[in-house]
Amino acid sequence: MFMMWTDLKRILRSGFVGFWRNAFVSLASTLVMALSLFIIGALIFLGAMFDTSLTQLKDKVDINVYFLTTAPESEILDLKTQVEALPEVGLVEYVNREKALAVFRERHEDDQLILQALDELNENPLGANLNIKAKETSQYEGIAKFLDSQNALASGDGNAIIDRVNYYQNKVAIDHLNSIIDSIETLSLALVFLFIFISIAMTFNTVRLTVFTARDEISVMKLVGAENKYVRGPFVVEGALSGVISAFIALILFYPLTLWLGPSTETFFGGISIFDYYLNNFGHIFLIMLVAGIVLGGGSSYLAVRRYLKI
């Protein structure tokens, strides 16, 4: 136990001192690692931006069921309960005839002609409707089919209540949107993997070069009879230290950058400012960068030293 503590202390001290004395080489690998972490951080931001805009986009997709003006409210509410029971349905909103009229009037408040025409009618020409949101945009077709079958059943009895379902008018747009959302998700996943791979490769190669410059040192250590942990430990500490420092560098770089980009992202992605995201998720981002830095730096050093240990 005592020995382990002494070993750890010596390895840590040797790592810190080595980092400092090798400042020039350490600086080079720290900068490359900062760049890698910057890429990873940028992916986090981009992912968050896409996520919110996709969610907003998905939220805009819905289907409306328009009922006949003669449809009794109780039957409509029955249907609402049935639709709500479907597993793929997220939210169902019932708009009764009066509310539908109010919404219509509000939408056309600048159009005197239509309002006048409406006033001349003695009764409300609008039917009630249900606004249905699915959990996934791909599930609308199933919901529309269900509504169709319900209506066919009812019309067989001669008391159909549904006037029309607007899914079929919007089908092309919804399908198109679905394929766009799907390809954006696939593409962003592929990009994330590509860039993570690039940053790992970049870091690993830089660390490998710094260890290469120390290969004679490693062989001397081995010939003096040092165990592998004694040779490797300080390099891993140096690498991890580089990782920590580069995490701070990348994190600090994001402050002015997100501040500058904030307003434009707010308009482009709709509603979310990248700067607010940075501030609100600071702890989370900090932790990811720090862990990524330590793992990248320490891990690369661990692997890079390995090949020089076989003496």
Partner 1 sequence: MIHFDNVSKIYSDDSVALDKVSFTVLPKEFVSIVGASGAGKSTLLKMLLAEERPTDGAVFYSSADVCSLSKNELNDHRRKIGTVFQDFRLLPNKTAYENIAFAMEVAGKSDEEIESDVPHVLELVDLTEKAWNFPHELSGGEKQRLAIARAIINQPEVVIADEPTGNLDPINTQEIVQILKKINDLGTTVILTTHNKGVVDSLGRRVITLDMGKVVRDDKSGKYTL
Residue with smaller CB distance to partner 1, 22 or 64: 22
Window contacting partner 1 (CB under 8 A); options: 16-24, 29-37, 95-103, 111-119: 16-24
Q: Applying CB under 8 A, does 15 fall inside the site for partner 1? A: no
Residue with smaller CB distance to partner 1, 17 or 180: 17
Under 8 Å between Cβ of 215 and 308 = yes
Window contacting partner 1 (CB under 8 A); options: 10-18, 31-39, 86-94, 204-212: 10-18
Window contacting partner 1 (CB under 8 A); options: 47-55, 175-183, 221-229, 279-287: 221-229
Minimum separation from the CB atom of position 298 to partner 1 (A) = 19
Q: Applying CB under 8 A, does 1 fall inside the site for partner 1? A: no
Cα separation, 215 vs 16, in Å, equals 19
Which of 8, 21, 201, 306 binds partner 1 (CB under 8 A)? It is 21
Tokens of 127: 């039917």
Backbone angles phi, psi at 67, to 5 degrees: -100, 155
Strand-strand pairing, 129-134 and 89-95: antiparallel
**Helix crossing, 23-60 with 282-306: angle to 10°?**
130
Residue with smaller CB distance to partner 1, 133 or 232: 232
Backbone angles phi, psi at 134, to 5 degrees: -85, 165
Comparing CA positions, the residue from 69, 72, 77, 107 lying closest to residue 93 is: 77
Q: Applying CB under 8 A, does 8 fall inside the site for partner 1? A: no
Q: Applying CB under 8 A, does 5 fall inside the site for partner 1? A: no
Comparing CA positions, the residue from 58, 118, 67 lying closest to residue 96 is: 67
Which of 160, 226, 257, 303 binds partner 1 (CB under 8 A)? It is 226
Q: Applying CB under 8 A, does 10 fall inside the site for partner 1? A: yes
Cα separation, 134 vs 282, in Å, equals 33
Q: Applying CB under 8 A, does 18 fall inside the site for partner 1? A: yes
Window contacting partner 1 (CB under 8 A); options: 41-49, 63-71, 186-194, 217-225: 217-225
Residues in the chain: 311
What are the residues facing 65 on neighbouring strands? Answer: 130, 165
Which region holds residue 63: left if phi is over 0, alpha if psi is between -120 and 50, else beta?
Answer: beta
Q: Which residues bind partner 1 (CB under 8 A)?
A: 3, 6, 10, 17-18, 21-22, 216-217, 219-228, 230, 311
